[in-house]
């Protein structure tokens, strides 16, 4: 399923750093170094708390707790954005060819755009699959 429209907001960009994804207990503590990032740093960081879990993902760098390092095996593909809310089905169209290729994803959505995290070892296959489906990777 190629992009729903041919517009630069749907062009893809591979971010250069490794990313981590981790899960903590829902009532457990959030490491202070992560909380500090919310205030002191402009690197990518996503923190979601639900009754079942705390999910934390972001760019790996030396300030991240060392215990997260084994989970820093992800690469991030960003939809350029910003996208209008009236543009529907983008994630479905983006992930359908990846599902068919057997590529697992972790998706993070923000107000402006979506981020697709894939295992570092499957980045090349992910890019080839999306390009073959009509998605454009911008520099």
pTM summary value: 0.89
Domains of the chain: 1-17+74-139 (3.30.2130.10), 19-72 (no CATH)
2 has pLDDT over 80: no
Q: What is the pLDDT of residue 5?
A: 67
Per-chain mean pLDDT for the chain: 90
pLDDT, mean of residues 64-90: 87
pLDDT, mean of residues 52-73: 86
State how far Cα 106 lies from the chain centre.
Answer: 6
**Confidence at 8, pLDDT banded by 50, 70, 90:** confident
66 has pLDDT over 90: no
C-alpha to C-alpha distance for 68 and 44, rounded to whole angstroms:
15
Q: Which two tokens stand for residue 1?
A: 């399923």
pLDDT, mean of residues 85-99: 90
CA nearest neighbour of 77 among 14, 131, 35: 14
**Confidence at 26, pLDDT banded by 50, 70, 90:** very high
Between CA 13 and CA 127, with CA 110 as vertex, the angle to 5 degrees is 25
**Confidence at 4, pLDDT banded by 50, 70, 90:** low
Q: SS3 string of 99-124?
A: HHCCCCCEEEECCCCEEEEEEHHHHH
Radius of gyration of the chain (CA): 16
């Amino acid at each position: 399923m190629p992009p729903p429209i041919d517009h630069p907001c749907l062009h893809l960009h591979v971010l250069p750093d490794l990313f981590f994804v981790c899960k903590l207990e829902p009532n457990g503590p959030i490491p202070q170094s992560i909380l500090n990032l919310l205030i002191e740093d402009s690197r990518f960081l996503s923190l979601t708390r639900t009754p079942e879990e705390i999910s934390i993902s972001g760019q790996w760098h030396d300030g991240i707790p060392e215990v997260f390092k084994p989970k820093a095996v992800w690469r991030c593909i960003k939809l350029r954005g910003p996208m209008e809310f009236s543009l529907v089905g983008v994630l479905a169209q983006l992930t359908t060819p990846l599902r068919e290729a057997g590529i697992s994803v972790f998706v993070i959505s923000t107000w402006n755009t979506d981020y697709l995290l894939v295992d570092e070892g499957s980045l090349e296959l992910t890019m080839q699959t999306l390009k073959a489906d009509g998605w454009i990777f911008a520099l």
